[in-house]
Every structure is written in structure tokens, then in C-alpha cells.
Amino acid sequence: MKSEKEQFEKIPTRIYPSADQACAELAAEMADLIRRRAGENRRAVFGLATGSTPVRLYRELIRLHREEGLSFANVVTFNLDEYHPIEPDHSQSYHRFMREQLFDHIDIPDDHIHIPPGAIERTKVFQACAAYEEAIREAGGIDLQILGIGRTGHIGFNEPGSGRDSRTRLVTLDRLTRQDAEKDFLGEANVPRYAITMGVATILEARAVVLMAWGEGKAAIVRRAVEGEISEAVSASFLQEHRNARFLLDDSAAADLTQRKLPWRVGPCDWTPALSRRAVVWLSDRVGKPVLKLVDEEYNEHGMGELLTEEGPAYNINIRVFNQIQHTITGWPGGKPNADDSHRPERATPHPKRVAVLSPEPHDDVCFLGGTLNRLVRQGHEVHVVYLTSGNLAVADEEARKYAAFLADVEASTGDGGASGLGRIVLDQLAARRPGAPDTPEIRRIKSLIRREEARSACRICGVPEGQLRFLDLPFYENGRLRQFFAGPEDLDRVREVLEAIRPHQVYTAGDLSDPASSRRICADLVRRALDESPADGWVRDCYLWLYRGSDQEWATDEIDMAVPLSPDELSLKILAIYQHQSQKRQLPGREDRLREAWQQAEARNRALALAYDRLGLAEYEAIEAFRRGR
């Protein structure tokens, strides 16, 4: 008989507290197979993926090679896919990715490596695909296929519409996939339109398949693949037909699975206050009624009879949850002086407070707490904004060219620097650069400066004094690549030092649950560690940590500890502040997806939250910014 969980999940899942733990286990399993096969004088054949998901796995394999002598001499690999057309040395090609992330650091023989040929002429693609399939067969088939999953549900580049019987072939990339790659290529227009990918049937022939997914961005599609119908609309759902496939997930990628999201539907629950709040908010949304109007029958009909039995009748539960949510609302994010604070999210004293906003990138601060920032300043608090990374990787060349030309003009007109000034140098470098080549230090410098000035001007609008802004330019970002970042000890030291210098009563930062290799998630982890490691009897004892959600997402209404309403004027001011980050404007204005500009996303998010509070039966506000208490 199937367990309660298995009635929902049609592919075995394993949920880990972190991607690192999952990768360590999987790498150990791969190492076992490699050693066993070496003992039998045979080869181990792996199907490999690229993207941010497997980066930690590859790092662990490299560690096993360096520190534990694991040899890859008997390993044969087949990569899932490659963009088309793309040169192998392009900064975003999967050939280059695999060399940098794995092959250059282990002893795998060159002729054991197979990656679809992205630079091949279009007329030769068909033949090359057939040869790729043949090479897999000749190698004896794939022992273990590693997969990530795209937000379209693709495995490899098998976009929606790919058939169960598809084989290695040229495909057109889905719009969503190209948007996801937009950051890497600095603009959607630069993302190749095609790719060569193994087919669904090719993948399903592997003897074992492991799909990994990290971060909240994957939660919805993971649920569809694991719990939904098998369908061409989500090619990962075909894995339900495989006899030896499994999903390795971190907590946030697993968050939408029924066992996590609606645990009361899967079995008996421990009804903590947080869980009953979640269930009641869900029920209110489900039946389309405010919290105070929910009745016993509705609890029973929606699988919440257990809660009713333990804590009912419904009205008692309703009132308790309603009050909890009501107490999250405050117009005094720094605490209201001389007021009873027993039901307020923040303490009344001390007043004023020292506030540190630790902003992972130069526009996080205004996008996620522009309104709150402005309130904190107006209510007399000492607000410091610390920009953790320079954000220079998110500036398109076009923007850098504009400022470099301006600078070159100034240099020429003042005779200051002339031909050797930064503006001229950057202009020359941009003109000479090959597509996909990484930024030079000078280009990165000018891009950092652009973001700095934008941040200064946005803070001016929110009222934060210029002397209270700091730019840390953390090394993990300066030395890393987008979506493939790793923090080091120096990063932590710098965050620690800045907190020691400010000694804040409140810290605001990203509560990010996204991909562990993203800059926002790394910053979130650094801030948490710096706070955890600060002496417990010092300033940190009186410091509250307030987390905004980040990644264009918002906290669910039941997760919020502080909701700061914004008046229409405050919302306009916030939008104006976000608008200062002109370098972040999208490269293709006026396309059909209207909500893609940062200010539009922020406005929509804050308005949607106000509406959600209204629907629960609370007051009707224009917009709300939301925070969860981290400590």
C-alpha cells in the first residue's frame, strides 16, 4: 500500500536542509560507482548538466579528486545540451562551463568527454545529433543521468511540447528559458535562440536519473513534475515513468509539495500557532471569505477537522488568527515611542534606533523597503545603508558605453586624462571586445560606479544622508560569475566589521530562499552568519533582524511578522527611488510582458499584498511592504 505522501508524489523525493548536503551525498554515490567500476576494469558513464544547479556537485567531485585521490580516468561523460549557435570559448557556452566547473580540475581523458557541438553549421546538425546518440549507445548507455529543471519544466532543453519519444535534436528555446538566461548574456537579445539537446527518450534510457533543484524559484515546477499528470507541457513529468528516478531538493524547492505546503492533507499534524495560521489563511483564500466568517463545516470539508477538534470551534480559531495578523500591521517600523508595544512587531525603545540596511545589490534597498526606509528616516532613526556587492555584472554594455563616452568627453574637454583616461579606455575596450568575452577590470569599474551613483540618488529621494551609505564591494562577487558564486572568509570579515561599526538595533536584509549560488542568497547567508557569530552578550542581543523576501517574490500572508502600509504618496516616492536605477531597465522596452521593470514589479507586489490583507478581512491599504523576523 502507498504511504500518504506517496499518494501525492509520483517520483521519490528527498529533501535536504541545504544543497551542499545533497551534493555531498550524491558525489559520494558517484565516487562509489567510479571506484567499483575501476575495480572491475570498466567505465562509469555519467550524463551531466550545466547551469547553477550542479555547480556544488562538481565542486565536491573536484574536492574528492584532490583530497581523496578519486580518479576520473575511467569516467565517460555526455552532457545534456549546448546552445546553438555558440563558439566553445564564449563565456556562456556549456563547453566552457564544463571545463571551468569540472573538467579542467580532474583527470578525465579528453576523449571521454562528450558535449553537443554548438558551433557546428546548421546543415550538419542532424547528422551530429545521430552521432551523439550512437556514441551513447557505444559507451554502453548512461549509468547515472544528472539533471536540473528549468522553470518551464524542461530537462535538458526539452521545452514544453517535447514528446516522450524525442531524441537528440535542435530545439528552439522557450521564451521563459531565454528570459532566465538573460542575466548571463546581459540582455535577452543576446541569448541564442536554439540549442542542441538530448531528447526525453534519450534521458529516460539512463539506468538511473537524479534531478536536483534548489531554491524557491523551482518550487512550483517541482510540484507539477512530481505531483501533476504526465504531460508534454512539463517534460520532467516523464520521469514518473522511470523506474529509478529521484528528486533531490532543498527545503525551498520542496516548499510547494503537498507534504510541505498543506501537511494537514497528508496526515496528522503538530498544530503549532504558525501552522494553524497558515491553514486558516489558506482556507480563507480557498473559500473566498474573510477569516472571521469561516465556519466549522468549511474547516471539516477542507481536511482541517483535526485542528477544529483540538482548538475549535471555528470562531475561536478565527479570532486568534485574525488578531495575530492584525498585530503585524504597523506604521512604525522602528517602533512607536511612548506607546504600549506589547502587540507591536517592534519595541518602543530605544528611540531613535540605529538601523542597518544590508542591501545585497544596489537596488534591493529601495525595491524591497523603499517605503519603510523613508519612514524610518522620517521617524528620526539613524539609518545606514550598506551595499554588499557592487552589482556591476548586472549592467549592460550599452549603459557602460554611454557613461564612458560622457566621461571621455569630459576628459577631452578639460584635458584631464585625455587619451589615457578611464572613459577613453573603456570605450576602446568595449569596441574591441568579442561577443561573450568577460568584462575587463576597467569595464567592471565603470559599471560599479554607475550603480553607486544610482544608489546614492535613490537614497537621496528616500532621505538617507549620503554619509550613511557604505559600499563594500564584497570579493565573492568581484571574483565570481553570475549564479555561480561562492563566499570566502574575507566576505564574512567585511560584513562582520561593518556591523560592529554600526552596532545596529535593527538589521534589514534579504530573507532569500533562492538558488544557493545567487548573490542575494549568499549575502543573506553571510549576514546571518555574521550575526550568529557576534558575541551573544554584545549589541546583537538587542538587535532584531527583519527579512524581506527578495527574488521578486513576497512572503505569504501567514509568514509575515511586520507589515508596513504605504500611503499613495509613499508608494509614488518609492517608485521614483527605484526609477533612479536606470541601468537596471530592461533592454527591450515595450514588449508584451508589462511587469518586467523593477519598479513595476515592486508596485505590483506591494499592492497585491495590500489586497491580500484586505481579503482576509483587515483594513484596505494602498500598498504594503512586508518583513519576517529572522531573530
Give catalytic residues, as residue numbers: 159
Three-class DSSP category at 535: coil
Contact between 220 and 249 (Cβ < 8 Å): no
Q: For residues 190 and 471, give the distance between their C-alpha atoms in angstroms, rounded to a whole number.
A: 30
Q: For residues 48 and 80, give the distance between their C-alpha atoms in angstroms, rounded to a whole number.
A: 6
- Residue 3 or 21 with smaller CB distance to ligand F6R: 21
- Residue 157 or 546 with smaller CB distance to ligand F6R: 157
**What x/- string results for residues 282 through 321 when contact with ligand F6R is judged by CB under 6 A?**
----------------------------------------
Contact between 483 and 518 (Cβ < 8 Å): yes
Task: Tell whether residue 516 is a contact of ligand F6R (CB under 6 A).
Answer: no
Strand order in the sheet with 194-197: 81-84, 194-197, 169-172
Residues 341-400 that bind ligand F6R (CB under 6 A): none
Count of residues interacting with ligand F6R (CB under 6 A): 14
**What x/- string results for residues 46 through 75 when contact with ligand F6R is judged by CB under 6 A?**
---xxxxx----------------------
- Residue 211 or 616 with smaller CB distance to ligand F6R: 211
Identify the CA nearest to 360 among candidates 517, 486, 472: 472
Query: At closest approach, how far in Å is the CB of 157 from ligand F6R?
Result: 6
Amino acid at 141: G
Query: At closest approach, how far in Å is the CB of 247 from ligand F6R?
Result: 13
Helix residue ranges, H only, 336-440 = 364-378, 397-414, 422-432
Element (H, E) at 76: strand 75-79
Environment class of 468 (CB within 10 Å of its CB; exposed 0-12, middle 13-18, buried 19+): middle
Query: At closest approach, how far in Å is the CB of 95 from ligand F6R?
Result: 12
- Residue 79 or 276 with smaller CB distance to ligand F6R: 79
Task: Tell whether residue 81 is a contact of ligand F6R (CB under 6 A).
Answer: yes
Q: What is the dihedral of CA 598, 602, 604, 608, to 10 degrees?
A: 150
Q: Binding ligand F6R by CB under 6 A: which of 44, 64, 80, 281?
A: 80
- Residue 211 or 598 with smaller CB distance to ligand F6R: 211
Tracing cell 531613535 back to the chain, one arrives at 352
| Number of Cβ atoms within 10 Å of the Cβ of 31 | 18
Helices 19-39 and 55-68: angle between axes, nearest 10 degrees:
50
Contact between 75 and 46 (Cβ < 8 Å): yes
Query: At closest approach, how far in Å is the CB of 80 from ligand F6R?
Result: 4
Query: At closest approach, how far in Å is the CB of 119 from ligand F6R?
Result: 17
- Residue 218 or 452 with smaller CB distance to ligand F6R: 218
User: Between vectors from CA 307 to CA 301 and to CA 310, what angle results, nearest 5°?
Assistant: 130
Query: At closest approach, how far in Å is the CB of 213 from ligand F6R?
Result: 8
- Residue 199 or 423 with smaller CB distance to ligand F6R: 199
Environment class of 203 (CB within 10 Å of its CB; exposed 0-12, middle 13-18, buried 19+): buried
Only one of the segments 45-53, 450-458, 527-535, 596-604 lies at the binding site for ligand F6R (rule: CB under 6 A); that segment is: 45-53
Q: For residues 560 and 278, give the distance between their C-alpha atoms in angstroms, rounded to a whole number.
A: 11
Q: Is the previous residue joined to 313 through a cis bond, with omega within 30 degrees of 0?
A: yes
- Residue 157 or 299 with smaller CB distance to ligand F6R: 157
| Three-class DSSP labels, 432-452 | HCCCCCCCCHHHHHHHHHHHH
Q: For residues 131 and 110, give the distance between their C-alpha atoms in angstroms, rounded to a whole number.
A: 18
Only one of the segments 43-51, 350-358, 492-500, 582-590 lies at the binding site for ligand F6R (rule: CB under 6 A); that segment is: 43-51
Query: At closest approach, how far in Å is the CB of 518 from ligand F6R?
Result: 10
Handedness of CA 70, 76, 82, 88 (dihedral sign): positive
- Residue 149 or 200 with smaller CB distance to ligand F6R: 149
Query: At closest approach, how far in Å is the CB of 9 from ligand F6R?
Result: 21
- Residue 26 or 291 with smaller CB distance to ligand F6R: 26
Q: What is the distance of C-alpha 271 from the center of its chain? A: 30
Task: Tell whether residue 561 is a contact of ligand F6R (CB under 6 A).
Answer: no
Instruction: Provide the pairing of β-strand 382-387 with 354-359.
Output: parallel
- Residue 49 or 388 with smaller CB distance to ligand F6R: 49
Residues 128-187 that bind ligand F6R (CB under 6 A): 148-150, 154-157
Query: At closest approach, how far in Å is the CB of 210 from ligand F6R?
Result: 12
Q: For residues 240 and 67, give the distance between their C-alpha atoms in angstroms, rounded to a whole number.
A: 37
Instruction: Provide the pairing of β-strand 208-213 with 245-250.
Output: parallel
The distance between the two most distant Cα atoms of the chain, rounded to a whole number of Å, is 83
Query: At closest approach, how far in Å is the CB of 81 from ligand F6R?
Result: 5
The C-alpha R_g of the chain, in whole angstroms, comes to 26
Query: At closest approach, how far in Å is the CB of 52 from ligand F6R?
Result: 4
Three-class DSSP category at 101: helix
Instruction: Provide the pairing of β-strand 623-629 with 544-548.
Output: antiparallel
Contact between 510 and 524 (Cβ < 8 Å): yes
Amino acid at 261: K
Residue numbers of the site for ligand F6R (CB under 6 A)? Answer: 49-53, 80-81, 148-150, 154-157
